[in-house]
Every structure is written in structure tokens, then in C-alpha cells.
């Protein structure tokens, strides 16, 4: 089965972190996010992957090549203009073949059982099946109304809590039969599959189903959710591989990393390869990127530092993301912020 990953957006909700790198290679616990997705797909036997890209495609290609180093076959499909979710799917028709195919949003972190979803799709003889995640407050999402067997009745966009037909939302993994492509607008037309194509298909009586599964799911497309995904990963709420060896319970330390005996590590913590933590520094609930330097007396809590960040003496960083190669001045206090990587510039400049 072919898999199409939609990675053509500019990652604007993650600004300033995506000013200089595409969302696909933003690190999640010191591993590019796309690598996390490919590992998940490979675990379910899905190795033929198409990546729809538009923003900084060469950076992604340089990182992943043809996918062979990651155990998959990876093809790149460049969009000259942003095509939206639907336009990107239609644009890939010549690569998707004549079999059922899977489409994924490029910013979902999940342990959804894809084999079970595929079985559900085939048992229901569905034309399209949409993975569903259950949320406490669905008012900020597109919500589905469905029958007991999962057949979809309608979509309700951002309903008031008391008007929501369910707590299930689109979770960003979709199965399509190949004939659905011929019902889409002509190739090269930008459109949204969620807001334009799906409602039209329901009106025409196409058999569309929702697949609810009690699994972990997170859209990492905002800074707050990116941090939340790290907290969940560190706490073990989603099981992913961590490349650094675990030296004590929920403390991981990479090759060549040096932690001063007078420093304090409060689990869970990941210290990347070649990083240095100085005397009297305190690190808690945090990911430290490879080659980073945490100087004496600095405190880093509930944060994510990318590679080669330098935190000056006595600085305090809380609930923040610090981009690659940044230098945080001594005694500086950062709270609830995101700092772009060194040299990155806003696309609006």
C-alpha cells in the first residue's frame, strides 16, 4: 500500500521555529519528526512513501534521500504552489496506483494501529475511512456525526460544546479507494479535502466511515502542542525509541555528553550526544539537543533545546523552545517562549 504524507505547508503555526527549516525535520526528542513517522509506518509494514513538499524541499531531501537509510522507499512530489490537502492528493494520482492508499497529515504524532484501521476499511467496503481521535473539547475542531457502525452522516466545523454531535475529530490519517480521485477537481486545483471534498461526497451518498481508536494522538503543529508532545513522550504516554542510552530511570544521556557531578538532573531528561551540563545546573522534564552547553547554575525546566544551544551562567528557561545554535545570555529569564534558530529570518522580512 502506498502512503502519501502531506508536508507541503509552511508550518506557520510553528513560527518562529519553522522560519529556517521545514516542519518535517523539526526535532522530536532529538530525532527529525518525519523519521518518527517513517518508523511508525515501517512498524505496520508500510514502506512505500510519497512526500508532498513545497517549503524548503531540498533540506528534507538532504536529510532523508531516497529513504533507504530509514527502511522505506521515499519519493518526493514537489508542489510549485501550495495545493491544500485535496490538491496534493489529486496531484499524486500518477504515483498512487490502482490500490487502496493511505494519506497522512505531516504533523501528527500517534500510535494508531494502521493494520486494524485498514481491516476496518475493507470490512466496511468503504470508499474513504477517516481516523478519529476523541478530545475533551471539540469546539476548536471539525467534528463528525456518525452511525453506530461508523458510517459518517455529516461534518460539523467548530461547534459550540453543547451542539457538538460527538467528541470525535479528524485525526489526520485517511484511507482512500483509487476511484475517489476521479471525483476530485482537476489536477493543479488547490482545495481542501476536509472542507470541500468530504461534505460533497457525503451528499452524494458515498460510503465514508470514521475509525475511532483509543490511541495516543497529537497534532504538533503549534509551539504549545510541540512542547506537550515532548512532555507526553518523556512521561511515556507514547512509546517511541530514544536514541540516547537510558543511564537511570527516565534519564537518557548521549555519547560524549558530560554532566558535572554537581549538576542536578530531575527525570525525565534527555541529554543529547556531546552536550555539556555544568556545575550547579538543574535540568528537569527537558530535552537538551546534541552539542548544547548548559553553564554553571543555569536552570532549564519543561523545555526543548535544539542542537548546539548555549545557556549562560545562572540563566533560567521554563516551558520554552530554543532553536539551534542560539546563545542565551547569563542570568536571562525565558518563560513560555520560542526562540528561532540562529540566523533564521521571518519570511515577511
What is the rounded CA–CA span in Å between residue 252 and residue 245? Answer: 5
For residues 141 and 132, the answer to whether their CB atoms sit within 8 Å is no
What is the rounded CA–CA span in Å between residue 22 and residue 10? Answer: 7
What is the rounded CA–CA span in Å between residue 172 and residue 322? Answer: 28
Active site residues: 158
Reported as half-sphere exposure (CB side, CA atoms, 13 A), residue 25 has a value of 18
What is the rounded CA–CA span in Å between residue 325 and residue 44? Answer: 36
The CA–CA distances, whole Å, from 231 to 141, 171, 188, 209, 322 equal 23, 20, 39, 32, 16
What is the rounded CA–CA span in Å between residue 323 and residue 185? Answer: 40
Cis status of the peptide bond prior to 16, with omega within 30 of 0: yes
Amino acid at each position: 500500500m502506498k502512503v502519501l504524507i502531506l508536508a507541503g505547508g509552511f508550518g506557520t503555526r510553528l513560527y518562529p521555529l519553522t522560519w529556517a527549516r521545514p516542519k518535517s525535520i523539526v526535532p522530536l526528542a532529538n530525532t527529525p519528526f518525519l523519521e518518527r513517522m517513517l518508523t511508525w509506518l515501517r512498524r505496520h509494514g508500510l514502506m512505500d512513501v510519497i512526500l508532498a513538499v513545497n517549503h524548503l524541499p531540498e533540506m528534507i531531501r538532504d536529510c532523508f534521500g531516497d529513504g533507504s537509510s530509514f527502511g522505506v522507499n521515499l519519493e518526493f512530489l514537489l508542489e510549485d504552489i501550495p495545493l491544500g490537502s485535496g490538491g496534493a492528493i489529486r496531484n499524486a494520482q500518477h504515483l498512487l496506483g490502482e490500490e487502496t492508499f493511505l494519506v497522512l497529515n505531516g504533523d501528527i504524532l500517534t500510535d494508531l494501529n494502521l493494520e486494524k484501521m485498514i481491516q476496518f476499511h475493507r470490512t466496511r467496503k468503504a470508499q474513504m475511512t477517516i481516523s478519529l481521535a476523541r478530545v475533551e473539547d471539540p469546539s476548536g475542531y471539525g467534528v463528525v456525526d456518525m452511525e453506530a457502525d461508523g458510517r459518517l452522516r455529516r461534518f460539523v466545523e467548530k461547534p459550540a460544546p453543547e451542539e457538538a454531535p460527538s467528541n470525535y475529530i479528524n485525526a489526520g490519517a485517511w484511507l482512500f479507494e483509487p476511484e475517489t480521485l476521479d471525483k476530485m477537481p482537476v489536477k493543479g486545483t488547490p482545495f481542501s479535502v476536509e472542507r470541500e471534498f468530504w461534505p460533497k461526497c457525503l451528499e452524494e451518498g458515498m460510503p465514508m466511515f470514521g475509525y475511532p481508536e483509543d490511541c495516543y494522538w497529537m497534532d504538533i503543529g503549534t509551539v504549545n502542542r510541540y512542547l506537550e508532545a515532548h512532555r507526553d513522550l518523556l512521561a511515556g504516554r507514547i512509546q517511541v525509541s530514544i536514541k540516547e542510552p537510558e543511564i537511570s530511570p527516565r534519564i537518557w544521556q548521549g555519547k560524549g555528553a558530560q554532566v558535572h557531578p554537581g549538576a542536578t538532573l530531575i527525570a525525565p531528561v534527555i541529554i543529547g550526544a556531546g552536550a555539556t551540563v555544568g556545575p550547579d545546573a538543574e535540568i528537569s522534564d527537558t530535552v537538551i539537543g546534541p552539542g548544547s552547553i548548559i553553564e554553571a547554575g543555569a536552570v532549564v525546566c519543561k523545555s526543548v533545546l535544539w542542537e548546539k544551544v548555549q545557556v549562560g551562567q545562572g540563566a533560567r528557561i521554563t516551558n520554552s523552545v530554543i532553536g539551534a545554535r542560539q546563545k542565551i545570555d547569563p542570568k536571562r529569564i525565558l518563560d513560555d517562549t520560542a526562540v528561532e534558530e540562529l540566523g533564521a529570518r521571518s519570511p515577511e522580512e
